[in-house]
Structure 1
Amino acid sequence: MPEIIPNLHPLLVHFPIALLSVAAFFHVTAIGMRGKSCATHCAVVAHAALWLGALAALPAAFFGWQAFNSVNHDEAGHAAMLVHRSWALATLVLLAVLAGWDAWRNKVEAIPEGWFATAVIAAWAMVAVTAWHGGELVYRHGLGVMALPEAEAGHGSHNHGVMTNGEGHPHADVLPEDNAHEHSPYEHTH
């Protein structure tokens, strides 16, 4: 595996997040459109997104388990990983139950019942909480990422290519025609 990505969990985890978001939206939409011709189309998307989201959660959980057992971490990171793992496993079980129930009890074009849409929204909320805790692992604890280089003399010791209007004010006051050169937003000099 490439060195920058220690495992496939970060790549795969976004599929169930997106699919469950779509499933929750279209469950509600299908119920709201009941009696209209587009309700059946919304129901098809709702059911399919739920089933695909639950299926996509399986490899995401597998590679999450692999990451749990292989990513370097400290005590605080380990505690945060345990919270994320608990939410992920509970969410996976709920998704499997909901998708299994839905596939067994409903035709793909069946308009969802209100109680079931509520359960899908609850599952989506659990996915969101799990994702939040996963983000905390990366952004708060730095797990699964390569270390950033140490700044030599603090952040203020290098130039970010900020343009000024000649009076020392940041480039927000500068119009393009005021500059003698083109400035790319991707320019970054040290």
Structure 2
Amino acid sequence: MLNIPFPLHPVFVHFTVALSFTSFGAYVLAYLLPHGKLKNDLSVSAVWMLSFCFLASLLTIAFGFLEFNTVKHDMLVHMPMLDHRNWALATALALLGCTIFALRGYFKNKIHSAPLTVGFFVLVGMVGTTAYKGGELVYHYGLAVKSNTELRELKQNEQKQQQENIFQPNAEISK
């Protein structure tokens, strides 16, 4: 198993989320623009961003699985972790479908299509839901955050001990 000193899942997940929403924005804006160079450039950019989003999602999922199996957690957090994982896998499948439709349209020189438009709307909803569930694991349950309960208790005990020893003479000073 890899022994990485810091979690990589949160690093790559931001690329997946940002690229999916930016790609969606470029796609919608290109759809609304009149025919011309800007419309074409934005459409092509949307396809490339979506493709890079898919590549980033592969790394996100790989590191997510590694951390899923190594992060310490209790049963209270296990069910939300499973829910987040299941949403992530379904979202990856939707992303794969959108990427295939986008690349197919790119090579046929017709990027905008009804299936891709519907797929994009579904995809951003799924990415948003998956990201919310992942954020809930971190911010609600404190999963994989170094400031967990044990560390807080340890720090409180150290602070308490320092406060108790504040009036104790220092052995080095008294010599």
Is the 8 Å Cα contact of residues 30 and 111 (structure 1) preserved in structure 2?
Answer: no
Cα gap change, 1:108 to 1:76, in 2 (>3 Å): farther
**Gaps spanning 5+ residues in structure 2: where?**
158-175
Is the 8 Å Cα contact of residues 24 and 117 (structure 1) preserved in structure 2?
Answer: no
Question: 2:32 & 2:73 partners in 1: Cα distance?
Answer: 46
Which residue is 2:55 aligned to? 55
Which structure 2 residues correspond to residues 1-190 of structure 1 after superposition, within 5 A?
1-2=4-5, 5=6, 7-107=7-107, 110-146=110-146, 147=148, 148-150=151-153, 152=156
Question: 1:55 & 1:142 partners in 2: Cα distance?
Answer: 28
Is the 8 Å Cα contact of residues 43 and 108 (structure 1) preserved in structure 2?
Answer: no
Question: 1:110 & 1:74 partners in 2: Cα distance?
Answer: 50
- Give me the TM-score of the superposition, normalised by structure 1: 0.72
Question: 1:15 & 1:152 partners in 2: Cα distance?
Answer: 36
Structure 1 stretch displaced more, 34-43 or 55-64:
34-43
Q: Which consecutive segments of 4 or more residues in structure 1 shift more than 4 A?
A: none
Cα gap change, 1:32 to 1:105, in 2 (>3 Å): closer
- Give me the TM-score of the superposition, normalised by structure 2: 0.78
Count of aligned pairs:
150
**Gaps spanning 5+ residues in structure 1: where?**
154-190
Question: 1:101 & 1:115 partners in 2: Cα distance?
Answer: 8
* RMSD, aligned α-carbons: 1.9
Higher helix share: 2
**Percent identity at matched positions?**
34
Is the 8 Å Cα contact of residues 34 and 111 (structure 1) preserved in structure 2?
Answer: no
